[in-house]
Amino acid sequence: MTNEQPSNVGTIQVFYGISSPWAYLGMPKLREIARSEGVSLVLRPIRIIQSNGGIPLRERPTARQNYHVVELTRWRKFLDIPLNLKPKYYPCRTIEYAACLVIAAGLKGYDDVALSWAIQSALWVHDQDIADTNTLEGIVENVLHCDAKELLVFSQTPEVYAVWEKNLSDAEQLGIFGTPTYVVGNELFWGQDRLDFVQQRIHGGL
Protein backbone atom coordinates (compact mmCIF):
# COMPACT_ATOMS: atom_id res chain seq x y z
CA MET A 1 0.00 0.00 0.00
CA THR A 2 1.35 3.42 -0.90
CA ASN A 3 1.65 6.15 1.67
CA GLU A 4 -0.95 8.79 0.83
CA GLN A 5 0.60 11.41 3.08
CA PRO A 6 3.34 13.77 1.86
CA SER A 7 6.85 12.55 2.61
CA ASN A 8 7.92 15.88 4.12
CA VAL A 9 5.86 17.18 7.00
CA GLY A 10 6.49 20.70 8.20
CA THR A 11 5.03 20.58 11.70
CA ILE A 12 4.61 18.34 14.71
CA GLN A 13 1.52 19.12 16.74
CA VAL A 14 2.18 18.41 20.40
CA PHE A 15 -0.92 17.66 22.45
CA TYR A 16 0.32 17.39 26.02
CA GLY A 17 -0.43 17.99 29.65
CA ILE A 18 2.04 20.50 30.98
CA SER A 19 2.24 18.53 34.23
CA SER A 20 2.82 15.21 32.44
CA PRO A 21 6.18 13.67 33.41
CA TRP A 22 6.25 11.89 30.05
CA ALA A 23 5.83 15.14 28.15
CA TYR A 24 8.67 16.55 30.24
CA LEU A 25 10.94 13.58 29.57
CA GLY A 26 10.19 13.70 25.86
CA MET A 27 10.74 17.40 25.31
CA PRO A 28 14.55 17.41 24.84
CA LYS A 29 14.42 14.72 22.15
CA LEU A 30 11.39 16.34 20.55
CA ARG A 31 13.22 19.65 20.29
CA GLU A 32 16.23 17.93 18.80
CA ILE A 33 14.08 16.20 16.19
CA ALA A 34 12.47 19.51 15.27
CA ARG A 35 15.87 21.14 14.96
CA SER A 36 17.53 18.37 12.97
CA GLU A 37 14.58 17.81 10.65
CA GLY A 38 13.75 21.48 10.15
CA VAL A 39 10.15 21.18 11.31
CA SER A 40 8.12 23.39 13.61
CA LEU A 41 6.64 22.40 16.95
CA VAL A 42 3.05 23.48 17.48
CA LEU A 43 2.36 23.24 21.20
CA ARG A 44 -1.25 22.44 22.04
CA PRO A 45 -1.61 22.09 25.81
CA ILE A 46 -4.51 19.91 26.93
CA ARG A 47 -5.54 17.74 29.84
CA ILE A 48 -6.30 14.01 29.74
CA ILE A 49 -9.33 13.42 27.52
CA GLN A 50 -11.49 11.21 29.70
CA SER A 51 -14.26 10.95 27.09
CA ASN A 52 -11.77 8.98 24.96
CA GLY A 53 -10.73 6.69 27.81
CA GLY A 54 -7.97 8.70 29.46
CA ILE A 55 -7.69 8.12 33.20
CA PRO A 56 -6.00 10.63 35.55
CA LEU A 57 -3.12 9.05 37.45
CA ARG A 58 -4.69 9.19 40.91
CA GLU A 59 -7.84 7.50 39.60
CA ARG A 60 -5.96 4.49 38.23
CA PRO A 61 -5.68 1.21 40.15
CA THR A 62 -2.88 1.08 42.71
CA ALA A 63 -0.94 -1.44 40.63
CA ARG A 64 -0.85 0.96 37.69
CA GLN A 65 0.20 3.86 39.91
CA ASN A 66 3.02 1.78 41.35
CA TYR A 67 4.20 0.73 37.90
CA HIS A 68 4.10 4.37 36.82
CA VAL A 69 6.89 5.04 39.33
CA VAL A 70 8.88 2.05 38.07
CA GLU A 71 8.75 3.32 34.50
CA LEU A 72 9.64 6.88 35.48
CA THR A 73 12.66 5.54 37.34
CA ARG A 74 13.79 3.60 34.29
CA TRP A 75 13.29 6.40 31.82
CA ARG A 76 14.90 9.17 33.84
CA LYS A 77 18.00 6.98 34.13
CA PHE A 78 17.95 5.91 30.48
CA LEU A 79 17.52 9.47 29.21
CA ASP A 80 19.79 10.95 31.91
CA ILE A 81 17.23 13.66 32.67
CA PRO A 82 16.66 14.81 36.26
CA LEU A 83 13.19 14.06 37.58
CA ASN A 84 11.85 14.03 41.14
CA LEU A 85 9.68 10.93 41.53
CA LYS A 86 7.59 12.61 44.22
CA PRO A 87 7.44 16.33 43.43
CA LYS A 88 5.96 18.46 46.16
CA TYR A 89 3.23 20.00 44.00
CA TYR A 90 2.07 17.01 41.96
CA PRO A 91 -0.70 16.32 41.15
CA CYS A 92 -1.19 20.01 40.45
CA ARG A 93 -4.12 21.93 41.89
CA THR A 94 -4.80 23.08 38.34
CA ILE A 95 -2.87 23.04 35.08
CA GLU A 96 -4.98 25.65 33.32
CA TYR A 97 -2.94 28.66 34.48
CA ALA A 98 0.30 27.18 33.18
CA ALA A 99 -1.26 25.79 30.02
CA CYS A 100 -2.95 29.06 29.14
CA LEU A 101 0.27 30.94 29.83
CA VAL A 102 2.07 28.80 27.22
CA ILE A 103 -0.76 29.45 24.78
CA ALA A 104 -0.58 33.17 25.49
CA ALA A 105 3.18 33.21 24.89
CA GLY A 106 2.71 31.54 21.53
CA LEU A 107 0.00 33.97 20.50
CA LYS A 108 2.27 36.88 21.40
CA GLY A 109 5.16 35.47 19.38
CA TYR A 110 7.36 34.48 22.32
CA ASP A 111 9.29 31.22 22.59
CA ASP A 112 6.51 29.04 23.95
CA VAL A 113 8.67 25.91 23.75
CA ALA A 114 11.32 27.40 26.04
CA LEU A 115 8.64 28.64 28.42
CA SER A 116 6.92 25.27 28.51
CA TRP A 117 10.18 23.48 29.24
CA ALA A 118 10.93 25.89 32.08
CA ILE A 119 7.49 25.32 33.59
CA GLN A 120 7.83 21.56 33.28
CA SER A 121 11.28 21.70 34.87
CA ALA A 122 9.95 23.88 37.68
CA LEU A 123 7.50 21.12 38.59
CA TRP A 124 9.63 18.01 38.02
CA VAL A 125 13.07 19.24 39.08
CA HIS A 126 12.78 22.33 41.26
CA ASP A 127 9.70 21.48 43.37
CA GLN A 128 7.84 24.64 42.39
CA ASP A 129 4.08 25.09 42.32
CA ILE A 130 3.12 25.74 38.68
CA ALA A 131 -0.45 26.47 39.78
CA ASP A 132 0.83 29.54 41.61
CA THR A 133 0.76 32.76 39.58
CA ASN A 134 3.77 34.21 41.40
CA THR A 135 5.81 31.17 40.43
CA LEU A 136 4.68 31.49 36.83
CA GLU A 137 5.47 35.19 36.80
CA GLY A 138 9.02 34.48 37.91
CA ILE A 139 9.46 31.84 35.20
CA VAL A 140 8.25 34.22 32.51
CA GLU A 141 10.65 36.90 33.65
CA ASN A 142 13.59 34.51 33.69
CA VAL A 143 12.86 32.84 30.36
CA LEU A 144 11.11 35.38 28.15
CA HIS A 145 12.43 38.61 29.71
CA CYS A 146 9.14 40.36 29.01
CA ASP A 147 6.40 41.98 31.08
CA ALA A 148 5.32 38.92 33.04
CA LYS A 149 2.29 40.54 34.63
CA GLU A 150 1.00 41.64 31.25
CA LEU A 151 1.38 38.15 29.78
CA LEU A 152 -0.32 36.58 32.80
CA VAL A 153 -3.28 38.93 32.42
CA PHE A 154 -3.49 38.12 28.71
CA SER A 155 -3.40 34.39 29.51
CA GLN A 156 -6.74 34.74 31.30
CA THR A 157 -8.56 36.39 28.40
CA PRO A 158 -11.34 34.88 26.26
CA GLU A 159 -8.94 34.82 23.28
CA VAL A 160 -6.60 32.45 25.07
CA TYR A 161 -9.36 30.35 26.60
CA ALA A 162 -10.83 29.88 23.13
CA VAL A 163 -7.55 28.28 22.02
CA TRP A 164 -7.48 26.09 25.14
CA GLU A 165 -11.01 24.88 24.44
CA LYS A 166 -10.21 24.27 20.77
CA ASN A 167 -7.18 22.21 21.77
CA LEU A 168 -9.42 20.04 23.95
CA SER A 169 -12.08 19.76 21.26
CA ASP A 170 -9.60 18.89 18.53
CA ALA A 171 -7.90 16.33 20.78
CA GLU A 172 -11.23 14.67 21.47
CA GLN A 173 -12.12 14.57 17.78
CA LEU A 174 -8.71 13.15 16.86
CA GLY A 175 -9.15 10.32 19.35
CA ILE A 176 -6.44 11.48 21.72
CA PHE A 177 -6.78 10.21 25.28
CA GLY A 178 -3.36 10.53 26.94
CA THR A 179 -0.41 12.88 26.83
CA PRO A 180 1.89 13.53 25.23
CA THR A 181 0.41 12.68 21.86
CA TYR A 182 2.34 13.88 18.82
CA VAL A 183 0.45 14.41 15.57
CA VAL A 184 2.27 14.29 12.25
CA GLY A 185 0.03 14.68 9.25
CA ASN A 186 -3.05 12.87 10.49
CA GLU A 187 -1.24 10.17 12.45
CA LEU A 188 -1.11 9.96 16.24
CA PHE A 189 1.91 8.89 18.27
CA TRP A 190 1.12 8.48 21.97
CA GLY A 191 4.00 8.67 24.40
CA GLN A 192 7.53 10.01 24.41
CA ASP A 193 8.79 6.50 23.62
CA ARG A 194 7.25 6.87 20.13
CA LEU A 195 9.48 9.77 19.13
CA ASP A 196 11.62 7.57 16.88
CA PHE A 197 8.44 6.75 14.97
CA VAL A 198 7.64 10.46 14.79
CA GLN A 199 10.99 11.09 13.16
CA GLN A 200 10.45 8.22 10.71
CA ARG A 201 7.04 9.63 9.82
CA ILE A 202 8.57 13.00 9.00
CA HIS A 203 10.70 11.16 6.41
CA GLY A 204 7.61 9.52 4.90
CA GLY A 205 8.05 6.19 6.63
CA LEU A 206 5.51 4.13 8.57
Known catalytic residues are: 20
Give alpha helix (H) positions in the chain. 21-37, 62-79, 96-107, 112-124, 133-143, 148-155, 158-174, 195-202
State how far the alpha carbon of 139 is from the alpha carbons of 30, 36, 142, 198, in Å: 21, 27, 5, 30
Distant-in-sequence contacts of 159-163, Cβ < 8 A, 24+ apart: 159/107, 160/100, 160/103, 160/104, 160/107, 161/100, 163/103, 163/107
Q: Indicate the DSSP class of residue 204.
A: T
- Residues in CB range of 86: below 8 A, 6 or more apart: none
